[in-house]
Amino acid sequence: MKNILVMVTAYSHDIATAFLAVSGFSLVMLYHMRPGGASSDLITFYSGICRKVTRAAKLSLAWILIAGVPRTIFYKEYEWSEAAGNLQIVAIVIKHIVMFVLVGTGLLYWHRLPGVLNELKKGLSAEMKGDET
């Protein structure tokens, strides 16, 4: 049973890592594909997507950290490849550098998205004030 649990945890860690990368990419796309005009429906839709992607990214990151503990503990026993030897350590370091860059990029755009929402809200307010005159 322990063997299956360790294996499933390792696989789910990989899936969460991929999901986090996709979430980060989604945040970049949301930023770059932001709409020019504004409407209350558009703001609601855009902010809802941002919230859901943020939630998915946070859950993925949490699972990566949680599942990373047993994966690290049992790595030599379950995943170590004698054929690759110590070179797999270099591969793991490179993989983590790539993931840190992806996560960092996602965080950068996650911090930029509230500004996009504020721009949309200001645009909507300006349009509404223009309609009143």
Residue 16: predicted pLDDT? 93
Prediction pTM value: 0.77
54-60: long-range contacts, CB 8 A cutoff, minimum separation 24: 54/23, 54/27, 54/110, 56/19, 56/23, 57/20, 57/23, 57/24, 57/27, 57/106, 57/110, 60/16, 60/17, 60/19, 60/20, 60/23
Q: pLDDT band for position 93 (50/70/90)?
A: very high
Task: Give Cβ neighbours of residue 82 (< 8 Å, ≥ 6 apart).
Answer: none
pLDDT in tens, 26-51: 888 888 887 777 778 888 888 888 88
Which whole number is the average pLDDT over 59-87? Answer: 92
CA dist 118 → 26, 66, 106, 115, 121 (Å): 19, 34, 19, 5, 5
> DSSP label at 36?
S
